[in-house]
Amino acid sequence: MALVEIENLTVTFGGAPAVRNVNLAVGEGEAIGVIGESGCGKSVTWLAALGLLPGHVAIDGQVRLAGEDIRGAPPKVLDRIRGRRIAMIFQDPASALNPTKKVGRQVTEVLKLHRGMGGDAAWAEAKRLFDQVGIPDPAERLKAYPHQLSGGQNQRVMIAMALAGQPDVLVADEPTTALDVTIQAQILDLLKVIRRDTGMALVLISHDLGVVAEVCSRAYVMYAGTVVEEGTVASLFSAPSHPYTRGLLAALPSLGGPVQRLRSIPGSVPHPNEVGSGCPFAPRCDEGISFCQRASPPLRQLSVEFRHAVACLRRHSIAIGDMVEVAA
């Protein structure tokens, strides 16, 4: 049984769903990646799973933690899960930290909540955590406010805060996007070291395939609110099967080459309201056939061994029966 299982998750902000029938699983101690361009629904998937979206948002499906459905669980239950079983850190560390509280107190808040630590013990533990995430001079830095620290240091504070609850899994939502390149690499290294030391599972959300490949063993590629391909990182790299995944791979800078954004796939991710009944990628796809415009392909297993699956009509060995099923 997987640690976290997301089943048929659909999220609707009024209008068309921003996330549709997403299935995802994270095993104990596993590192998975969630990849896709901006607006694909990566953040919404995990915010919905943790109940962090506003109350008026409609969420369907199941989110299981160690077999127990936690979707729509009462706040009391979720408060024992967030930060303690599943921690989450966000893209822009400067705005993700409370500007009027010392960073040390923001860490001890978690220690008090989830580990019942207070006073000097909490402060000492916060200091140890700062040390663990590589913040120099931790005793002093604990007393700093976020605006007195650099972006990279603030992200380390966020990571320390996440570690404070000793969670089973850390969801890192584009933890390096707002940082410059050298700091990005340091934060990724830190995440790897922490995983090795704590055995914690990791969900790394990124729009950079390279980042995911470096840290994760498996990955999900999302497009327009759906998972279009999934598999081990090795098989995704060696046999990318969805045209979108191939586009992302082609956009990767060659080793040592200039860093560039994913701009080589012409066009952009459709807004949820613009997604029709066909394959959402069809308008940008250069391999599409006319049928792609009419029916949205389900995820189909390509390889059991590599847990590789793809949602592309062209990749499915389309038997007549399948055609009927897809069209229905």
Partner 1 sequence: MLIFALSRLLRAFITIALVVSFAFVALRLSGDPALEILSSDATPDAIAAFRSAWGLDDSIGVQFLRYAQAVFAGELGHSMRDGRDVLTVVAERIPVTLAITLPALMINIVIGIPAGVVAALNRNTPLDRILMAGAVAGFTVPSYVLGFGLVLIFSVWLGWLPSGGSQSWINAVLPVFTLGVGGAAILARYTRSAVLEVLTQSYVRTASAKGVPWRHVVERHVLPNAAIPTVTIIGLMVGHLVAGAVIVESIFSWPGIGRLLVGSVVSRDLAVVQGILLLVALTMVIANMAVDLLYGMLDPRTLSRRHK
- What phi and psi, each to the nearest 5 degrees, are found at residue 312? -150, 125
Q: List helix spans (H) across 207-273.
A: 209-215, 233-238, 243-251
Residues that bind partner 1 (CB under 8 A): 47, 50, 52, 75-76, 78-84, 87-88, 90, 92, 95-101, 109-110, 113-114, 145, 147-148, 158, 161, 165
Q: Which is nearer to partner 1, 148 or 268 (CB)?
A: 148
Q: Which is nearer to Mg ion, 30 or 37 (CB)?
A: 37
Binds 110: which of ligand ATP, partner 1, Mg ion, none (CB < 5-8 Å by kind): partner 1
Q: Least distance from C-beta 36 to ligand ATP, angstroms?
A: 5
Closest to 167 measured CA to CA, from 188, 189, 194, 187? 194
Which residues fall within 8 angstroms of residue 303, CB to CB, at 6 or more apart? 231, 235
Closest to 327 measured CA to CA, from 288, 301, 290? 290
Residues that bind ligand ATP (CB under 6 A): 13, 18, 36, 38-44, 174, 207, 271-272
Q: Least distance from C-beta 318 to ligand ATP, angstroms?
A: 30
Q: Which is nearer to partner 1, 59 or 224 (CB)?
A: 59
The rounded distance, in Å, linking the Cα atoms of 163 and 172 is 12
Q: Which is nearer to ligand ATP, 42 or 308 (CB)?
A: 42
- Structure tokens that stand for 7 in this block: 């089943």
- The gap from C-alpha 22 to its chain's centroid, in whole angstroms, comes to 13
Q: Least distance from C-beta 15 to partner 1, angstroms?
A: 18
Closest to 9 measured CA to CA, from 17, 18, 21, 24? 21
Closest to 237 measured CA to CA, from 315, 312, 306? 306
Binds 310: which of ligand ATP, partner 1, Mg ion, none (CB < 5-8 Å by kind): none
CB 153 within 8 A of CB 135: yes
Q: Least distance from C-beta 174 to partner 1, angstroms?
A: 12
Q: Least distance from C-beta 37 to Mg ion, angstroms?
A: 10
Binds 40: which of Mg ion, partner 1, ligand ATP, none (CB < 5-8 Å by kind): ligand ATP
Binds 17: which of Mg ion, partner 1, ligand ATP, none (CB < 5-8 Å by kind): none
Strand 68-69 versus strand 86-89 pairing type: unpaired
The Cα-based distances of 188 to 156, 159, 174, 200, 241 in angstroms read: 11, 11, 11, 15, 27
Binds 41: which of Mg ion, partner 1, ligand ATP, none (CB < 5-8 Å by kind): ligand ATP
